[in-house]
Structure formats: structure tokens, C-alpha cells
Amino acid sequence: MPTQTQSEPADAPSAGTDPAASPQHAPGWHPGSWAERSVGQQPEWPDPAALSVSLSELGCRPPLVFAGEARRLTELLGRVCAGEAFVLQAGDCAESFELSTADQIRDRLKVILQMAVVLQYSAGLPIVKVGRIAGQFAKPRSQPTETRDGMTLPIFRGHIVNDIAFEPAARTPDPSRLLQAYNTSAATLNLLRAFTRGGYADLRQVHNWNQEFVASSPAGQRYETLANGIDSALRFMNACGLDTDDSAMRQVELYTSHEALLLGYEEALTRTDSITGDWYDCSAHMLWVGERTRELDGAHVEFLRGVHNPIGAKLGPTATPDEALALCETLNPNRIPGRLTLISRMGAGNIREAFGPILRAVTDAGHSVVWQCDPMHGNTYSTDKGVKTRHFDAILAEIRQYFAEHAEAGTWPGGIHLEITGDAVTECVGGGDELAQHQLGDRYETMCDPRLNGRQSLDLAFLAAELLAAAK
Ligand code: PEP
Ligand code: CO
């Protein structure tokens, strides 16, 4: 987790506030102004009184992250805008309450650290690490209900709303889950902070991030070679009398992020920073608006417009250059580098036609954004048996096309946004192991979209690292 905290918790008493710092409030915005807009993708809570109780309770809870940490992330993302760093945003599609165990959290962290070190070592660039973790509990859905064998129930919207079991009680939206989401996020974040500061993320532990089932794969062995290279570099630096016991070696900055979907939850955790007087959504360092909720006059864009965290917006294949420009104007009118990440999720084959014009329009208009490629969400398909999957080759193809488009436009392909897990799941096909369609049933565990397993994630990191090294 971030090692530098430049401010107190955002809800700390305002004593000691720098009088010179004047808050920057977006015109007409307040934490609840989203409710005056049309708001999609919210559950139908059967008991509004219970919802109010949960939201008031959340409003009294301490912030999960500090404003100073969010500002630090904006600054790091600003370096990505300048082409001086690359961002790896990765983690679950939908986190699970039950699977937020110590081992699970550690393994998810391991794979992120492993991928980041591969990118950093191969490309020689700082990697900004942002997890889809410690709060990624809410999912947008294409249908409000699901019907099986003649029974229709509310759709599963993520553990912050209901449970995945196809039973009436499990599927009924339950506001006590908002508090459970907060508690699970807090516990996850606490462990991540301990791991990333307490020696686990020490560069001298680089071999320990290679889980057994990953280490035995060709990518895992390639990783061991790379880790040996890091060991010798550290030994060499020591021999030269350089201090390798520095905090930069011993600690890692890992930031948290999730889709800002359930706006009542996000509003309840939105607080003013005691140092600047600015509003921050203290549920995560970075928040993004999804492809289904990014309408300019909708509630989600309205909410994100006023919080000072770094924010993102997904752009699918139907997004137009005008829409992207309008999002830039609304979400980052002051053109602060690092404030806004545009996350394209076009699908392999759509980059040139769908993304190219957006890239050029935004660049020509002089907006400073972090460009990020989500090669997952435009490449999802269902097998004949109705299993949702993605092919490793399509994921890689989209990243390749994305880098090529940036090379042609002379812009910086700032980062990648992936759905991964440290586990040996079988959800995406292809990769070094050539996972076949008939193997999908072996260990298919995702509650929403198919994720790359630990081996596939490392395979992808090596391939993306080659592209990054060439783009530098
Ligand atoms: C997601 O990131 O899990 C997601 C739902 O993405 P999108 O909004 O791009 O479909
Ligand atoms: Co997803």
C-alpha cells in the first residue's frame, strides 16, 4: 500500500487545515446530486427502511482510504500520462465475501506483484499497481432477472447486493450486505497494507511470489530466471556499496479500485478531506464508471464528476469520439494529468475502427488522459454449452492492436486492465498450457466473467512486457 500519506484521514477533524488551500468543488455538485439524475443498474431493494439504516451506518464508519493516498495515485497516473510509467490494473471481475480469506488475498497479491515485476524488469519502467480488489463487489447486468426451469428471480448483482445461489432468499437484495462489503473491504485492505509494507513485497522475496502451480509452467520457469537476474542485480548493487535495504526495495505501493456502481454506498463513504476541503470517495483509491452506466447526463458520471479521486471510464465499441470528448470535459474539465483514465474495451479486431478515432480526437483536443486497454470485456463469448469464456489469443491480439494504434498515433499506451486470479482456475481458454474448451468445467469458479488463471496471467505479462519494451 502507499507508503506516503500526505494528509490525515478524509473525515478527520478540520483542525490544522491549511487556510491557503481552497476546496475545488465541481459546480452544482454535492455527494447526493447523482440522485437527481436517472440512475441505472441499481437493485430493487425490497425494504427501503433497512436500506436507509445500512446507508446511515456506513456514513458513520471510518474511511477505507485516505485522501492523500488518492492524490498520490493521481500524481503517479500523471506520470503515466507523461509516458514515464505504465499502469497494471488487475484483479477479480467480482470479488466474493467467502473467498476473501488470507490465502486468497495473498495469492491475488502474488500474481499482481509477479506481473508487475515482469513488466518493470523487461521494460525498465515504473509500474503503477492498481488492484480490482478490496471493494469490487457490485456488477452491472444486462437483464434484471434470470429464469431457470420456469422460475424467475432477481439477477445476481454481486455480493454487495445478493448471493449467486438460485434461490429466492439468496437472490433477494439485502442491504445488510452493504455493511458486509465495507467490512470485507476493510479486512482485505488491512491485510494488503500489512503484506505490502511488512516485508512480503520486498524485492528480495521475488522468488516467493511464484506459486507452485505457476512455477512448474514454462512461464514460471522464465520467471525464475528473471528473479535470479534481480537477485544478481541486488547483489551487485550491494557489492558497490549501494543501499538495497531502502524502503523502495522493501515496500510496494498497491492501490485499490472498483466500479462505482452502487451510488448509495459510494455516497455514504464520500467525505471532505481535512487538508484541502475537497471531496473524496473513500471506498477506494480509484473508481471507474462502466460501459453500461457512462451516459453523460446519468447518475454515475454525475457522481464521479465531483470526487477528487483518480477516476476511469470504460469505452466499448459503440463509443464515439464525441462521447469520449464530452466525458473528458465533464470528468476532467481542469485537464489534470492522472485524474482521468479512458479504459477502452473494444474487442480484438475493433481497435482500428472503434478506438483509433477516439484516440485521435481526444489527443487533438489536448486532453491529458491515461489510456488503458481492457482486452477482456470485448472478447467474451459463450461456448456451445453456454459457458462464458475468453480466448487468450483474442486478449493478446487486442493488446497488440492497441499498442500498434498508439505507435501510429504517437501516443503512450499507458496501461492494461485485466481480470485475473492467482488460482489454477479454468475459465479462459488458450495460453501457454493451451487450455481447451472441454477443460472449462474442471475448475470454473468465477461468479461473473472468466478470469485468466495464475499461469495465463504470467504468460500474458511476458508478452505484454515485450510490447511495452518495444513501445518505450
Ligand atoms: C467489468 O469491468 O467487470 C465490467 C463490467 O466492465 P464493462 O463495464 O467494461 O462491461
Ligand atoms: Co468483468
Question: Could you say which residues of the chain have pLDDT below 50?
Answer: 2-20
Question: Which atom in ligand 1 lies closest to the alpha carbon of residue 291?
Answer: 8
- pLDDT value, residue 243: 87
Neighbours of ion ligand 2 (CB under 5 A): 93, 449
Strands 270-272 and 279-281: antiparallel
Task: Write the DSSP string, 120-176.
Answer: HHHH-S-EEEEEEBSS------S-SEEEETTEEEEPP--TTT--SSSSHHHHS--TH
Q: Is 93 in the pocket of ligand 1 (CB under 6 A)?
A: yes
Q: Is 314 in the pocket of ligand 1 (CB under 6 A)?
A: yes
Q: What share of the chain is helix, strand, coil (3-state, %, to 5)?
A: 40, 15, 45
User: What's the rounded Cα separation, in Å, for the pair 125 and 128?
Assistant: 10
- pLDDT value, residue 21: 56
How long is the chain? Answer: 472
User: What's the rounded Cα separation, in Å, for the pair 191 and 197?
Assistant: 10
Q: Is 291 in the pocket of ligand 1 (CB under 6 A)?
A: yes
Region for residue 158 given its phi and psi (left: phi exceeds 0; alpha: psi -120 to 50; beta: otherwise) = left
- The SS3 call for residue 312 is strand
User: What's the rounded Cα separation, in Å, for the pair 335 and 369?
Assistant: 8
- pLDDT value, residue 244: 85
Q: Is 290 in the pocket of ligand 1 (CB under 6 A)?
A: yes
CA of 137, nearest ligand number: 1
User: What's the rounded Cα separation, in Å, for the pair 423 and 381?
Assistant: 22
- pLDDT value, residue 155: 98
Most informative mutation of 341, 374, 452 for ligand 1 (most atoms within 8 A of CB):
374
Element at 231 (helix H, strand E)? helix 218-239
* CATH level 2 (architecture), domain 55-471: Alpha-Beta Barrel (3.20)
Task: Write the DSSP string, 315-373.
Answer: E-TT--HHHHHHHHHHH-TT--TTTEEEEE---TT-IIIIIHHHHHHHHHTT---EEEE
Ligand 2 centroid to Cα of residue 359, in Å, is 23
CA of 450, nearest ligand number: 2
Mean confidence (pLDDT) of the chain = 94
pTM score, whole prediction: 0.95
Read off the pLDDT of residues 415-442 as tens digits, 9 standing for 90 and up.
999 999 999 999 999 999 999 999 999 9
- 284 within 8 A of 313, measured Cβ to Cβ: no
User: What's the rounded Cα separation, in Å, for the pair 193 and 421?
Assistant: 19
CA of 292, nearest ligand number: 1
C-alpha radius of gyration, the chain, whole number: 21
Ligand 1 centroid to Cα of residue 363, in Å, is 24
Q: What are the structural domain ranges in the chain?
A: 55-471
User: What's the rounded Cα separation, in Å, for the pair 380 and 298?
Assistant: 26
Looking from the CA of 243 toward its CB, the CA atoms found within 13 Å total 5
**Cβ-based neighbours of 232, under 8 Å, separated by 6 or more:** none
Q: Is 432 in the pocket of ligand 1 (CB under 6 A)?
A: no
